[in-house]
Amino acid sequence: MSCLEGLPDELFLIISSYLHKFDLLYAFTNLNQRFQQIILPYVYEFDLSNDKLSYEHFWFFYDKILPLFIQNIRSLKLGGIHQLELFQENIRNFNNLQSIHIKCAKNVTEHEILVVNERQFFVDALHLPFLSEMTVMFIKEETLNIISSCISPKLENLTLILEYIDFNFNGLSIMPSIKQLTINLKTMNETMKLLSFVPNIEKLSLSVIGFDMVAGLIEIPKQLQKLQLEFGAFRSWMIKSSLSVETVKSFVNLFKNQLHSLTLIGISIRDKDFVDFNKFQNIISDLNHLQNFEYCINTIHRPDSLFMNVEKLPESTYNVFTIPRPQPFDTFSERLKCRQSFSLTHVTYRSINCDTLDVDCMSGVPRTWKLNADSFANLQTIHFVDPIDDCSDEMRMCTAKIIAISSSKLQHIKMDCSGEGTIKICHRLKEMIPHGQENLSKIQYLQMSTSMGRSESNYDKRTFFIELSTIFPNLKAMRLWIEQDSIGNSYETFSQFIDDIRAKFKSMTMLILGMWLLDSEKFRNYYTDVLNQLKENNSLYYTVIDRDGNNAFLILNIWL
Do 440 and 469 share a structural domain?
yes
Do 349 and 225 share a structural domain?
no
Q: Phi first, then psi: give them for residue 20, nearest 5 degrees.
A: -70, 145
The per-residue DSSP string of 501-560 comes to HHHH-TT--EEEEEEE-TTHHHHHHHHHHHHHHHHHTTS-EEEEEEETTEEEEEEEEEE-
Candidate from 52-66, 166-180, 450-464, 479-493 with smallest mean pLDDT = 450-464
- For 211-233, what is each residue's pLDDT tens digit? 776 666 678 899 999 999 999 88
- For 422-443, what is each residue's pLDDT tens digit? 777 787 888 787 766 666 678 9
Positive or negative: CA dihedral 143, 145, 149, 153: positive
| Radius of gyration for the chain, computed over Cα atoms and rounded to the nearest angstrom | 26
Q: What distance in Å separates the CA atoms of residue 431 and residue 304, rounded to the nearest whole number?
A: 47
Q: What distance in Å separates the CA atoms of residue 475 and residue 441, rounded to the nearest whole number?
A: 8
Task: Give 238's pLDDT tier (boundaries 50, 70, 90).
Answer: low
* Cα-based angle 77, 83, 85 (whole degrees, multiple of 5): 130
Q: What distance in Å separates the CA atoms of residue 497 and residue 508, rounded to the nearest whole number?
A: 14
Do 236 and 123 share a structural domain?
yes
Do 399 and 414 share a structural domain?
yes
Do 36 and 130 share a structural domain?
no
pLDDT surpassing 60 at residue 108: no
Q: Phi first, then psi: give them for residue 411, nearest 5 degrees.
A: -130, -5
Q: Are 388 and 428 in contact (CB under 8 A)?
A: yes
The per-residue DSSP string of 142-192 comes to HHHHHHHHH--TT--EEEE---------TT----TT--EEEEEEEEHHHHH
Task: Of 131, 133, 100, 106, give the one whose Cα is nearest residue 118.
Answer: 100
Task: Give 200's pLDDT tier (boundaries 50, 70, 90).
Answer: very high
Task: Of 316, 440, 330, 414, give the one whose Cα is nearest residue 374.
Answer: 316
Q: What distance in Å separates the CA atoms of residue 53 and residue 76, rounded to the nearest whole number?
A: 15
Q: How many CB atoms lie within 10 A of CB 220?
A: 16
Per-residue model confidence (pLDDT) at position 132? 97
pLDDT surpassing 70 at residue 550: no
User: What's the half-sphere exposure (Cβ side, CA atoms, 13 Å) at 193?
Assistant: 16
Q: How many CB atoms lie within 10 A of CB 91?
A: 22
Per-residue model confidence (pLDDT) at position 164? 58
Do 181 and 326 share a structural domain?
yes
Q: What distance in Å separates the CA atoms of residue 319 and residue 301, rounded to the nearest whole number?
A: 10
Mean pLDDT of 444-468: 73
The helix/strand/coil state of 202 is coil
Per-residue model confidence (pLDDT) at position 58? 95
Task: Of 522, 519, 451, 526, give the one whose Cα is nearest residue 489.
Answer: 451
Mean pLDDT of 517-529: 72
pLDDT surpassing 80 at residue 84: yes
Q: Are 155 and 198 in contact (CB under 8 A)?
A: no
Of the residues 299, 315, 333, the one at which a domain ends:
333
pLDDT surpassing 60 at residue 110: no
Do 375 and 293 share a structural domain?
no
List the domain range (segments joined by +) for residue 392.
Answer: 335-559
Per-residue model confidence (pLDDT) at position 483? 74
Per-residue model confidence (pLDDT) at position 366? 67
Q: What distance in Å separates the CA atoms of residue 299 and residue 314, rounded to the nearest whole number?
A: 12
Of the residues 282, 310, 333, the one at which a domain ends:
333
Q: What does the DSSP 8-state code read for residue 64? A: I
Top mean pLDDT of 55-64, 187-196, 448-457, 489-498 is at 55-64
SS3 content of the chain, % helix, strand, coil (to 5): 35, 20, 40
> What CATH code is carried by the domain that includes residue 232?
3.80.10
Q: Are strands 226-231 and 203-210 parallel, antiparallel or unpaired?
A: parallel
Q: What does the DSSP 8-state code read for residue 63? A: I
Do 280 and 145 share a structural domain?
yes
Mean pLDDT of 92-106: 88
Q: Which residues pair with 11 in a beta bridge?
A: none
Q: Are strands 99-103 and 133-136 parallel, antiparallel or unpaired?
A: parallel
Per-residue model confidence (pLDDT) at position 112? 44
Q: What does the DSSP 8-state code read for residue 341? A: E
Q: Are 420 and 450 in contact (CB under 8 A)?
A: yes
Task: Give 349's pLDDT tier (boundaries 50, 70, 90).
Answer: very low
Helix axes 422-432, 461-471, angle to 10 degrees: 10
Do 212 and 83 share a structural domain?
yes
Do 403 and 296 share a structural domain?
no
pLDDT surpassing 80 at residue 51: yes
Task: Give 317's pLDDT tier (boundaries 50, 70, 90).
Answer: confident
Of the residues 333, 360, 394, the one at which a domain ends:
333
Give start and end residues of each alpha helix (H) in 196-294. Answer: 245-252, 277-281
Per-residue model confidence (pLDDT) at position 214? 65
Do 80 and 22 share a structural domain?
no
Per-residue model confidence (pLDDT) at position 549? 53
Q: Are 46 and 77 in contact (CB under 8 A)?
A: yes
Q: Are strands 381-384 and 75-79 parallel, antiparallel or unpaired?
A: unpaired
Q: Phi first, then psi: give them for residue 94, nearest 5 degrees.
A: -85, 75
Q: What distance in Å separates the CA atoms of residue 3 and residue 28, rounded to the nearest whole number?
A: 15
CA 52 to chain centre: 14
Helix axes 393-405, 422-432, angle to 10 degrees: 60
Percent of the chain with pLDDT over 70: 84
Task: Give 375's pLDDT tier (boundaries 50, 70, 90).
Answer: confident
Number of domains in the chain: 3
Q: Mean pLDDT over all residues of the chain?
A: 83
Peptide bond into 324 cis (omega under 30): yes
Residue type (1 letter), 457: S
Report which secondary-structure segment, H or E, holds 193.
helix 188-195
Task: Give 453's pLDDT tier (boundaries 50, 70, 90).
Answer: very low
Per-residue model confidence (pLDDT) at position 113? 44
Q: What distance in Å separates the CA atoms of residue 483 and residue 46, rounded to the nearest whole number?
A: 39
Candidate from 324-328, 400-404, 416-420, 439-443 with smallest mean pLDDT = 416-420
Do 354 and 314 share a structural domain?
no
